[in-house]
Amino acid sequence: MRGRWGAAVLAAALLWLSPAAAKEARPEPAYLVVDAASGAVLAEQNATQPRYPASVTKAMTAYMVFYALAEGRLALDQQVPVSARAAGQPPTKLGLRAGTKATVKLLLEALIVRSANDAAVALAEAVSGSEAQFATAMTRKAQALGMTQTVFANASGLPDAAQVTTARDLAILGRALIADFPDRFSLFSKRHVAFGQGSQPTLNGWLGSYPGAEGIKTGFTCGSGYNLLAAATRDGRRLIGVVLGGMTGGARNTLMRKLMDQGFAGPSDASGAVLISALRGAPRSIVPYVLGNGSCAVAPSAGTEIMAKGELPGWGLVFGSFVSKAEASARIEENQSALKDVVRKGQAAVIARTSIATHRYSALLVGLEENDAGSACRHLQAMGIYCLAVPPKLLNSPQALWR
**Domain extent for 329:** 2-12+293-401
Judge whether 317 lies within some domain: yes
**Pair 385, 302: CB distance under 8 Å:** no
Give the separation between CA 200 and CA 296, rounded to whole angstroms. 27
Q: Residue 107: how many CB atoms within 10 A of its CB? A: 28
Q: Is residue 21 part of a domain?
A: no
Q: What is the pLDDT along the chain (403 residues), one digit of tens a residue?
A: 333 323 222 222 223 333 333 344 678 999 999 999 999 999 999 999 999 999 999 999 999 999 999 999 999 999 999 999 999 998 889 999 999 999 999 999 999 999 999 999 999 999 999 999 999 999 999 999 999 999 999 999 998 888 999 999 999 999 999 999 999 999 999 999 998 878 889 989 889 889 999 989 999 988 899 999 999 999 999 999 999 999 889 999 999 999 999 999 998 887 778 999 999 886 666 788 887 655 565 444 333 333 434 577 888 888 887 767 777 888 898 899 889 888 878 888 887 764 333 456 778 898 899 889 888 988 888 887 888 888 887 776 654 454 4
Q: Which of 18, 83, 115, 397 is catalytic?
A: 115
- Tell whether 114 and 196 lie within a shared domain: yes
- Any residues with CB less than 8 A from the CB of 307 and at least 6 apart, and which? 300, 349, 351
Q: Are residues 244 and 353 in the same domain?
A: no
One-letter amino acid at 361 equals Y
- Do residues 185 and 221 both lie within one domain? yes
pLDDT of residue 223: 85
d(CA 401, CA 403): 6
The confidence score (pLDDT) of residue 169 equals 97
**pTM for the full model?**
0.72
What is the per-residue pLDDT for 161? Answer: 80
Residue 248 burial by Cβ neighbours in a 10 Å radius (0-12, 13-18, 19+): middle
Q: Which residues contact 23 (CB under 8 A, 6 or more apart)?
A: 292, 293
d(CA 8, CA 16): 12
CA 18 vs. chain centroid, Å, equals 18
Q: What is the DSSP letter of 164?
A: B
Number of domains in the chain: 2
Verify that 230 and 358 share a domain, yes or no: no
Same structural domain, 43 and 96? yes
Question: What pLDDT is stored for residue 383 in this prediction?
Answer: 81
Helix then strand then coil, % of the chain, to nearest 5: 40, 20, 40
Residues 260 and 345 placed together within one structural domain of the fold: no
CATH number of domain containing 327: 3.30.70
Question: In degrees rounded to 5, what are phi and psi of residue 267?
Answer: -70, 145
Segment (H or E) for 138? helix 131-145
Domain boundary among 232, 252, 278: 278
Beta-carbon neighbour count of residue 383 at 10 Å? Answer: 15
Q: Do 259 and 177 have their domain in common?
A: yes
What pLDDT shows up at residue 114? Answer: 94
Return the SS3 of 78.
Answer: coil
| From 58, 93, 141, 217, active-site residue | 58
Query: Which of 278, 310, 342 corresponds to the end of one domain?
Result: 278
Burial class (CB in 10 A: 0-12, 13-18, 19+), 146: middle
pLDDT of residue 384: 78
Q: Which of 280, 278, 275 is nearest to 42 (CA)?
A: 275
115 catalytic? Reply is yes
CA angle 207, 402, 23 (to 5 degrees): 95
CA distance 339 to 289: 35
Q: Do both 349 and 263 map to the same domain?
A: no
Distance between CA atoms of residues 55 and 213, nearest Å: 19
17 is a domain residue: no
Query: Please, are residues 120 and 61 in contact by the beta-carbon 8 Å criterion?
Result: yes
Has 397 been annotated as catalytic? Answer: no
Question: Do 227 and 326 share a domain, yes or no?
Answer: no
User: Which position among 18, 55, 156, 397 bears the catalytic label?
Assistant: 55
